[in-house]
Homo-oligomer: A and B are copies of this chain.
Amino acid sequence: MVVTGHTSGPDPDPATVAAGEDEVRARQTAVSPAAGGEAGSGQVAARPARASRSVSIRDVAAAASVSYQTVSRVINGHPSVKLSTREQVLAAIDDLGFRPNRAARALAGGPAHSVTVLTPNTTLYGYTAALQGIEEAGRATGFAVGVRVVESAAPPEVRDAVARAVEPGGALIVIAYDKAGTEVLAAVPPGVPMAAMVETPVGDEGRGKPWVWADDRKAAGDAARYLLGLGHRTVHYVSIPSSTDTSQRMAGWRAALEAAGAPVPEPVQAGWSPRSGFQAGQVLAADPGVTAVLCGNDDLALGVIRAMHKAGRVIPRDVSVVGFDDTPLSEFYTPALTTVRLDFTGLGRLCFTLLRGLVDPKAAGERAPWPEPELIVRESAGPPPRQGGGTRCT
């Protein structure tokens, strides 16, 4: 994945890969066995450079001349500690490089300092961006963040995933943008600290489970209205999968058309991938009446554009295409993609903040701004072609 430098080594050799493997084997066996017990010999030789036994709360206590409970209070921000002792303890912590042991903390029943994110996916832009926001926010507050993919919405798998993810002393974030996510949300037992990122504000199943969401409905409406405003008679919609029966993006698109008195064509149901967008695009390209297409995400839009291109339809001269999400790539497509920007990273950050407020009442007051969707106008949408307009030099 990476490249650098200006040196050129010895010539590539077919044996290199195999050598790499052997090397690995060798290294494997060369790995030092986990530092074992301390040998009881009376030798006072230089201590081996083994992984030092980590410094504990008791070491800190000794160094600060207090009991270890006091140390516990300090690291947990307990109010009733004299300022001077607190400072002593803090100094000792710094000196010794003390880090509380997460496992011990969790075992003893302290507040959660770790989240695991339950998500159907870790590679699609929206998920990736959300994960990034969660990781950032988690890291900033000393939380360990874990990831667990839930591949299907089947009850056994969902149950299993939740059971494994729910560790005492741990918290959960579930990304519920599809069926699997919604099932997971519903399967989290009450009492487990959690927050969710949802497509649609949830009802009963969300009880005790705070969530964040982006106003997809309004965003989709904005995009549809923009296309209508360009002069298109109507706007077709290519849909991503959904979490419920009340899809926000589709609802927003539909409402905008209806409000404008435009005909509402049957939406094309697709998946998440550019390939499924391509397939949807082939269908749409066969219909000469299609002049504007709104897509459920940018990858779908890319696929639609590709299909249109293959069918000889030029974007945006013949057909306008608008995406959703504003992935980092869409600005560099040709034509650059007009799309709706959604701040999933910010949403992820916000979701984490919500969760943290649950786990740590002292942090509950913190509020982050609620991100607003935004239409980004670029090159892939324009006025509809004039009736019978000629074709020149594609």
By a beta-carbon cutoff of 8 Å, the part of chain A in contact with chain B is 1-9, 11-12, 16-17, 20-21, 23-24, 27-28, 30-32, 34-35, 49-52, 54, 97, 99, 101-104, 106-107, 114, 116, 122-123, 126-129, 131-132, 135-136, 139, 142, 144-149, 163-164, 167-169, 177-178, 189-193, 199, 201, 206-218, 220-221, 239-252, 254-255, 258, 267, 273-275, 277-278, 296-297, 299, 302-303, 305-306, 309, 325, 328-329, 331-334, 336, 342, 344, 354, 357-358, 364, 370, 372, 393
Once the chains bind, are B309 and A334 in contact (CB under 8 Å)?
Answer: yes
Q: Give min CB distance, A79 to chain B, whole Å.
A: 19
Please name the 5 residue pairs, one residue from A and one from B, whose CB atoms are nearest each other, closest first. A4-B242, A4-B247, A3-B249, A51-B191, A1-B126
Residues of B within 8 A of A255 (CB): 8, 11-12
Q: Give min CB distance, A201 to chain B, whole Å.
A: 6
Q: Give min CB distance, A37 to chain B, whole Å.
A: 11
Contact of A135 among B4, B149, B178 (CB under 8 A): B149
Q: Give min CB distance, A11 to chain B, whole Å.
A: 6
Q: Give min CB distance, A133 to chain B, whole Å.
A: 10
Q: Give min CB distance, A97 to chain B, whole Å.
A: 7
Once the chains bind, are B148 and A242 in contact (CB under 8 Å)?
Answer: no
A101 to B144, CA, bound (A): 17
Once the chains bind, are B296 and A240 in contact (CB under 8 Å)?
Answer: no
Contact of A247 among B3, B216, B220, B249 (CB under 8 A): B3
Residues of B within 8 A of A342 (CB): 1
Once the chains bind, are A49 and B190 in contact (CB under 8 Å)?
Answer: yes
Closest-by-CB residue of B relative to A97 is B163
Closest-by-CB residue of B relative to A221 is B12
Once the chains bind, are B145 and A34 in contact (CB under 8 Å)?
Answer: no
Once the chains bind, are B147 and A146 in contact (CB under 8 Å)?
Answer: yes
**Given A106-B103, A245-B7: A208 touches B240 (CB 8 Å cut-off):** no
A211 to B31, CA, bound (A): 12
Once the chains bind, are B31 and A208 in contact (CB under 8 Å)?
Answer: yes
Residues of B within 8 A of A104 (CB): 103, 107
A212 to B177, CA, bound (A): 34
A28 to B9, CA, bound (A): 59
Which of A30, A207, A248 has the most chain B CB within a 10 Å cutoff?
A248
Residues of B within 8 A of A306 (CB): 332-334, 336
